[in-house]
Amino acid sequence: MKAKTKTAAAKSSATLFQLEITLLNMPSPVWRRLQVPGNANLGWLHAVIQVAMGWTNSHLHQFVVGERYYSDTNNHYAEFESDPEILEASKFTLEKLLPLPQAQLMYIYDFGDTWEHLISVEKHLPADAAKAGTALCLDGACACPPEDCGGPSGYEELLKVLKNRRHPEHKSMKEWLGRPFDAKAFDIAETNKWLSQLKWPKVTEGHLRKVLMARDDYHE
């Protein structure tokens, strides 16, 4: 019982971090403003980003802080001696890596399309027991690009094709998407609905997959 009480106290006493996550090199700004506990580890933050931005966790990712790289070392590791060491993301928390407001880190998703997210610590907020162990989306703009569309340049070209009904690839691109796509769409309430489903302090790949599939109304 004492151990549980101590854990609960530590959870509720964590400073809140307000983060702005901006997807770089977009034709229109794609961003989210989030509040997360400062004692959140990068593995948990990865799950939060996937849900909040709109990705499907279909590719590798990594965080970059200065000259250090962090990821899930079960899936991503240095293959050659010349490669930089990949540190286990779940062992490092925001408050340890970015103790000061205005600090920044990069989150890179899909090493083929290379979606670069700049994460900025806007400010620290007092601990709030009601928000411990959860992520809250405060604001944001625009939809996440479709997976595998070719990175920022490919996405920009996709938008041009979808906008022009006379484009020779218009029909094939709509069929490839499989559902209507609104580049300006973003729903805070829906985002928070799915963020609230993430377990604390660790989200397994299986659990994240279930949350993302439910979010996207995908059935196997």
Question: 57: closest CA among 69, 40, 71, 68?
Answer: 71
Residue 94 resides in a domain: yes
> What's the token pair of residue 68?
């250090």
As a whole number of angstroms, the distance between CA 92 and CA 97 comes to 7
Question: 18: closest CA among 130, 138, 106, 99?
Answer: 138
pLDDT tens digit sequence for 115-152: 999 999 999 999 999 999 999 999 999 999 999 999 99
Residue 176 resides in a domain: no
Q: In what order do the strands lie in the sheet with 86-88?
A: 86-88, 68-71, 61-65, 104-109, 115-125, 16-23, 30-37, 136-141
pLDDT tens digit sequence for 14-70: 999 999 999 999 999 999 999 999 999 999 999 999 999 999 999 999 999 999 999
Is residue 26 within 8 Å of 146, Cβ to Cβ?
A: no
Mean pLDDT, rounded, for 171-182: 96
Residue 85 confidence (pLDDT) above 50: yes
Residue 100 resides in a domain: yes
Residue 153 resides in a domain: no
Q: What is the CATH number of the domain that holds 102?
A: 3.10.290.30
Please, what sign has the CA dihedral across residues 203, 208, 211, 212? positive
Neighbours of 129 (CB within 10 A): 12
In the chain, how many domains are there?
A: 1
Residue 167 resides in a domain: no
Which pLDDT score is estimated for 81? 86
Whole-prediction pTM: 0.93
Residue 193 resides in a domain: yes
Residue 2 confidence (pLDDT) above 80: no
Residues 6+ apart with CB under 8 A from 80: none
Residue 165 resides in a domain: no
Mean pLDDT, rounded, for 187-216: 98
Q: Which domain holds residue 95?
A: 2-144+184-213
